Amino acid sequence: MKTIQSYHFQLATDSLFTLIFVDENNLSDTTITINGLSYLTDYYWRVRARNEVGWGDWSETWKLTTIIEPPTIPILASPPNNSVGLVQPVTLSWYKSNRAESYSLQVSEVPNFTTLVFSDTSLIDTSKTLPDVLSPLNQYYWRVSAKNIGGVSDTSEIWNFKTLGTPASVTLLYPENDAQNIPTTLTFFWSKAHNRESTIIYWFELATDTLGNTVILDTTLTDTSKTVTALLNDKIYYWRVNAKNEAGWGDFSEWFKFKTIRPTPSIPILIFPQNNTSGINITTTLIWGKVEYADKYHLQLSNDSSFTNIIINDSTITDTLRVVDSLQYKRMYFWRVRSINIAGISSYSNFWMFTTKIKPVNPPTSLTASVLNDGKVKLNWIDNSDNEIGFLIFRKEGDSTSSNQLICIDTVESNVISYIDSLVRDSTQYSYKLIAFNQDTISAPSNFATVFVLISLKEIQEFGMPKEYSITQNYPNPFNPSTTLRYSLPFDSYVKIELYDIAGQKITELVNGDHNAGYYELKINLSNLSSGIYLYAMNAVKKDGYLKFYQVRKMMFLK
């Protein structure tokens, strides 16, 4: 046999080899590698050998069919990329790939697919409902590749979706927790349930406690507010909200507490002074009844019923009384009160009126009575009032305890502080009182002033002037009913001679006045007194005040 020198290889797309794809006639080996064949195409091939003699016959013709082309890359369809709020079970779908015989699906929680939540490499359909392997409210990534006998496509784009969970707790906005003075008609507000993309409805609950005493329950709300009317005043309420979506109800918010506003207070009832009362003190206390829910009271005091000339306008009173110390005597006043709290202000009460008392006249005080040298009685007193129009002068015989009747002997004008009674009898004891008066009223009486009237005081002539002060022992002594005493004054002096009982109680003044230097004789009649021992005391003071004299002597009166 001759040596084979080369081989001739032909590849054609028809059995007659008219459409030759490869024609190699210088092959030294019995193999050949062909590139660039078309997918899924029939090819025909044959081989012959050559030696020194020449080419031999062609081999029989064989036929081959190339493999199918790998499928195209799948295109994802749904859910759209970046979808949120997907309710389980989630179905993933994609478009059919050309030449695909099956598909491979991968689902992961990370975009690099280093860990897989779900994987299926034998899918024939272009969709897959995922089993219960997904967590609620979680982000997932997915991709698909196609395969056939010709190979596996590249993976599709990576899409992601987020599963739906039950709604998160809402945030209550208004009224705030522990809010006070909330109106009885109000709109509640809360935030939209966040991170739950498909919240459908809200559950609103209003209760009087957190134990289930529900006042309002509404599970059909689609907005984040709820208007409620006709709540009770001054009452504590609790409220909370829950949200629901296709995944179910989320958690309730915390309970918020609030207290409704107190009702507008009612009109106060006036108490004192009673309406149309007269004789009210110029410093008085206005009193009214306590009003439930009132925080403050508004008092108005006026001197006219239309309240155009307001004297007191006080809206800060927290008690149910107000001391008024700016009133005037004998005036008519009008007053009214209303209640105040945060909810509002009541109407005013009906006004009441009252009239203040007549201004009293202060009684005169320190009334004294003294006998003048001419036998008249001089009264002196202190005027303590500023509204008298005069004084009434009363007198009776005897001392202050005498049963004789006081008789008004005269009147004097206002601001007079002395009076001389010239209608007196010798050797008679008189008691005086004064009363101040005006056109409205009279004062209380003054103190009693008692005096003996002694007309027989006279200056007597002696040889020369006295060298010193002196007062003699009375004579006769004992006596009944009259006795005489003498006294001397070396200087012009003020002289007071007073009569006392043995216990030292002053009975009367016998002498009270200024005297010239000289000798004096005094006759006294004690017929109105009881028998007993009496004292008489002389007190003399020189006019310049530098020399004083005082002496006491006893006398005995026997009836």
Summarised one tens digit per residue, pLDDT across range 15-67 is 999 999 999 999 889 999 999 888 889 999 999 999 888 898 999 999 998 88
Residue with tokens 């005169």: 364
Is residue 400 scored above 90 in pLDDT? no
Strand order in the sheet with 493-501: 506-515, 493-501, 532-542, 548-557
Strands (E), 40-138: 42-50, 62-65, 76-78, 83-86, 91-94, 102-108, 118-123, 127-129
CATH topology for the 270-356 domain? Immunoglobulin-like (2.60.40)
- Reported CATH class of domain 365-450: mainly beta
Calpha distance 502→555 (Å, rounded) = 10
Q: pLDDT tens-digit profile of 523-555?
A: 887 777 889 999 999 999 998 888 899 999 999
Residue 195 in this model has a pLDDT that exceeds 80: no
Which residue type occupies 376?
A: K
- Given this model, what pLDDT does residue 455 score? 56
Residue linked to tokens 């002696």: 462
How, if at all, do strands 352-356 and 390-397 pair? unpaired
Compute how many other C-beta atoms are within 10 angstroms of the C-beta atom of residue 422.
Answer: 10
- With pLDDT > 90 as the criterion, what percentage of the chain qualifies? 74
Helix (H, G, I), strand (E, B) or coil at 404: coil
Measured at the alpha carbon of residue 244, what is the angle toward residues 243 and 246, in degrees to the nearest 5?
A: 155
Which of 537, 420, 430, 543 minimizes the C-alpha distance to 492?
A: 543
Residues 6 or more apart in contact with residue 402 via CB below 8 angstroms: 396, 431
The tokens describing 354, both together, are 């009252």
Decide if domain 6-65 falls under CATH 2.60.40.10: yes
Per-residue pLDDT band for 199 (boundaries 50, 70, 90) equals: low
- Which of 188, 191, 137, 200 lies closest to 169 in space, CA to CA? 191
- pLDDT digit string (tens) for 279-321? 999 999 999 999 999 999 999 999 999 999 999 999 999 999 9
Q: What is the CA radius of gyration of the chain?
A: 67
The pair of three-digit structure tokens given for residue 85, joined into one six-digit string: 């709020």
Distances (CA, A) of 450 to 58, 369, 372, 457: 185, 6, 14, 18
pLDDT of residue 197: 60
**Where do we find the tokens 């050998």?**
49
β partners of residue 432: 395, 449
| Residue 386 φ/ψ, nearest 5 degrees | -120, 10
In the chain, residues under CATH classification 2.60.40.10 are: 6-65, 76-163, 172-260, 270-356, 365-450
pLDDT-derived band of residue 2, with 50, 70 and 90 as boundaries? low
Backbone CA torsion sign across 272, 278, 279, 280: positive
For 489-522, write each residue's pLDDT tens digit: 999 999 999 999 999 998 888 888 889 999 999 8
What tokens appear for 143 in the block? 């991709």
CATH 2.60.120.260 fits 76-163, yes or no: no
Of the pLDDT bands very low, low, confident and very high (cuts 50, 70, 90), residue 396 is very high
Q: Residues 6 or more apart from 368 whose CB is under 8 A from it?
A: 379, 380, 381, 449
* Distance from C-alpha of 394 to C-alpha of 434, rounded to nearest angstrom: 6
Give the CA distances from residue 499 to residues 5, 490, 524, in Å, rounded to whole numbers and listed in that order.
Answer: 191, 23, 10
What is the distance between the terminal CA atoms of the chain, rounded to a whole angstrom?
A: 212
Report d(CA 468, CA 474) in Å as an integer. Answer: 19
Residues 456-488 have pLDDT tens digits of: 777 888 788 999 999 999 999 999 988 999 999
Antiparallel, parallel or unpaired: β 506-515 and 76-78: unpaired
Please give the class, per CATH, of domain 172-260: mainly beta
Q: Is 303 helix (H, G, I), strand (E, B) or coil?
A: coil
- Show Cβ contacts of residue 44 under 8 Å, excluding neighbours closer than 6 positions: 11, 12, 13, 14, 15, 17, 61, 62, 63, 64
Cα–Cα distance, 171 to 210 (Å, whole number): 18
Which CATH code is given to the segment(s) 458-557?
2.60.40.2550
- With tokens 């994802």, the residue in question is 76
Confidence of residue 371 (pLDDT cuts 50, 70, 90): confident
The string of DSSP letters for 365-419 reads EEEEEEE-TTS-EEEEEE---SS-SEEEEEEEES-TT--SPPEEEEEEETT--EE
Q: Quick one: what percent of the chain has pLDDT higher than 70?
A: 97
